[in-house]
Structure 1
Amino acid sequence: MAQRERATAVHRIEFDVDWPPGHVASYLVDCERPTLIDAGMPGDDSERQLREALAAIDYELAEIDQLVLTHPHIDHIGQTNAVIAAADPTVYAPVGVRERFARDSDDLAAVVAGNATRAGLTGDDHERAIEMAVESLERNRDLLPPDAVDVWVEDGGSYDIGGVPVDVLHTPGHQADHCCFTVELDGERALLAGDMAIESFRPVTLHTGLDRGVEGAIGAFYGALDRLAALDPDSVYPGHGPVHTEFERTIERDRRSLDRLLDNTVESLDEPRTAADVVTRRTDDDDPTNLLPETVAVLTHLAARGRIKAELVDGVVRYSR
């Protein structure tokens, strides 16, 4: 392989996904110790896409020296094991993932079952919510084995990654452990944003799903936006949508989106409704479990602030104005 310039550059690597906008992006930081930010989707096709994208910029998978993960969702950790097998990189991940992946599956199932019942799910939908939560935990800790993580990064920490100083900002809401990374790249301040500061849409508030902590998801998201707003990056490298320079506009767009979601939810309560009822009114999706964590988070946030009332009857919470 030809000798490279030591100047840092960033190369975008896209993987196909089955949901809008049809891709998820990782980034190869071309520096003293080549660094991959996020690891795309699992599967043979995604591994092929990763290898082909690296080859197009004169890299091999075995040359990845550092792997940095923004959060433990399937489309960001999918090729972790393939990268480790080929390159044995130093792996960095948010410290909250360590405790999350140590979670007992039976306890998780019990907590989700209780939250799903209070949300008004019944029958197959109730069982599916539990199955989805347990399957997600078990799948994701296989994709990102905790023992494979070398460095658990913490909020406010500064790390030398690949010969480049990197600052960590904890940005929960979309996912409870989510971290963004700021770094100087070729004289510009870059934000490696994962699933925050996406130019084309606000990421859904998944946070902890229907597990413990769902009640604090909206407050966490607002807090993350406040903390991000204190930054002043020149460019944003997100996990979805284009690389962009519209940072301030995007953060304010997300804040307004949350504001509208809260207001619209209040308006939807023309009669007492469960969280599952609110989801049904909000979307045509046949599976109410997809938006249920965000909806529960919104309703509990509104009730805690006195904007709506919550009444527990026969184990189910109904909300009203």
Structure 2
Amino acid sequence: MYGTLPEPSSGEYRADRNASRTLRDKTERIRLLATPAAVHALRVPTPFAVGDVNCYLIDGHPLTLIDTGTKTEESAAILRAGLDGLGYRLGDIEQLILTHGHIDHIGLAAEIARSREAFGKPRPNVLVHAEDMVRVAQYETFTKQRMKSYADIMHSSGVSPKDAPGVTERMMTHYFLSMGESVSDVRPLVEGDVLESGIGQLRVLWVPGHSQGSICLVNEENRLIFSGDHILGDISSNPSLDFDVTTEIPMLTYLRSLDKLLPFDGSTILPGHRKPIFNLKHRVDELKEEYARKLSLAEDTLGPKPKTVYEISRVIYGNYDMDSMILALAECTDLLRILEQKGHARLETVEGVVYAYSVDD
């Protein structure tokens, strides 16, 4: 359910999740000029098509980890081994910052907190934006609610059982509950908060869209930005997943949040997946153009005959797999809502299913 969407009509995307890659391939050192401290990128595998998640360890005091990976044996083993190769243990982490509340970024937070307790040390400071706190503090409750929302959007989009064989609310709930657990003492972050780290101050930049509580961490001393999933180098950030927690159109919220990064053009962006980004403004422009193309394609797909969101999503995204279905339906729904807002589409709901039409001339 946490896949990636292909470019419009380009077929499905499948990430390489080859478990035989060596630990050396999973750990990179990011050399900084302004300080002897270092940032280490630990690439932790996930079970999702997006592939590895980048977890960043910042040497110094407080020893800081940004994001965690999912709660799976493979993810935990790789994270532990990566830390061990740098001379650390899970229990050494003093500060854990979560860029947002999605499971591939928060799943091991509880285990990290317990590991520090096991050594007789105070629990680490676990931090996430206030808008995503419930995802971490009440993971089980939130997950059950979210899976109901996933089942609801499948129904409203016109997905039949034969379109998604075996994909039920119960199955999705069981799957996601296994990948994380609650951290009751997580602390809230808000826009402008400043956190200390071994490379200097990290300033919180709130960038809602990919999730309501997505943040970037700005380190001005070294011109670094830890961007989480707000901006990625070669895939889109799926801006529509929070369709059930806001009355706004998440895609529009996301596009506005992209503009908040523009004053930092020239910084190195360390994203939650894939490689660093070195030309920020160019990537922001690419993403805006990509969503404009998708909007145009969605409008071209409409006609006088009613189509479901699911049918339109297959035209826009092609043969995406089950891992990407919720992403495709949520993003397609946003595109249609934007077209309706502009007066370029008409949406009607019949027996709980949304149908889209072109607007009569």
> For the superposition of Structure 1 and Structure 2, which TM-score range results when normalised by the shorter chain?
0.7 to 0.9
Tell me whether 1:223 sits opposite 2:248 in the alignment: no
Tell me whether 1:192 sits opposite 2:226 in the alignment: yes
Corresponding residue for 1:3?
none
Note the residue ranges of structure 1 that are not aligned, 5 or more in a row: 1-5
Which among 167, 176, 179 is matched to residue 212 of structure 2? Answer: 176
Whether the aligned pair in 1 keeps the contact of 2:306 and 2:356 (CA below 8 Å) is yes
1:130-176 Cα distance to aligned partner (Å, 9 max, x none):
44775577557x43x24131x21012322335683221112222222
The 5-angstrom pairing of residues 269-308 of structure 1 reads 269-270=302-303, 271-281=305-315, 282-287=317-322, 288-308=325-345
- Please identify, of 303-312 and 284-293, the stretch whose mean Cα deviation from structure 2 is larger: 284-293
Whether the aligned pair in 2 keeps the contact of 1:273 and 1:318 (CA below 8 Å) is yes
Corresponding residue for 2:108?
79
TM-score normalized by the length of structure 1: 0.85
Alignment: residue pair count = 310
Higher normalized contact order (CA 8 Å, seq sep 6+, divided by chain length): 2
Q: How many angstroms apart in 2 are the aligned matches of 1:180 and 1:241? A: 16
Corresponding residue for 1:203?
237
Q: Secondary structure at the match of 1:241?
A: coil
Whether the aligned pair in 1 keeps the contact of 2:71 and 2:178 (CA below 8 Å) is no
Corresponding residue for 2:246?
213
The 5-angstrom pairing of residues 122-201 of structure 1 reads 122-123=160-161, 125=164, 128=167, 130-131=169-170, 134=173, 138=177, 142-143=180-181, 145-149=182-186, 151-161=187-197, 164-184=200-220, 187-201=221-235
Tell me whether 1:314 sits opposite 2:351 in the alignment: yes
Which among 151, 155, 164 is matched to residue 117 of structure 1? Answer: 155
Corresponding residue for 1:22?
51
1:253 and 1:27, CA in 2 relative to 1: closer, same or farther beyond 3 A? same
Note the residue ranges of structure 2 that are not aligned, 5 or more in a row: 1-34, 117-122
- Please identify, of 8-17 and 264-273, the stretch whose mean Cα deviation from structure 2 is larger: 264-273
Q: How many angstroms apart in 2 are the aligned matches of 1:73 and 1:256? A: 26
Deviation at 1:128, TM superposition (A): 3.6
The residue type equivalent to 2:311 in the other structure is D
The residue type equivalent to 2:310 in the other structure is A
TM-score normalized by the length of structure 2: 0.76
Deviation at 1:237, TM superposition (A): 0.8
Q: Identity percentage over the alignment?
A: 24
Calculate the aligned-residue CA RMSD, in Å. Answer: 2.8
1:32-61 Cα distance to aligned partner (Å, 9 max, x none):
211001012322222221122122222222
1:215 and 1:80, CA in 2 relative to 1: closer, same or farther beyond 3 A? same
Tell me whether 1:55 sits opposite 2:84 in the alignment: yes
1:265 and 1:120, CA in 2 relative to 1: closer, same or farther beyond 3 A? same
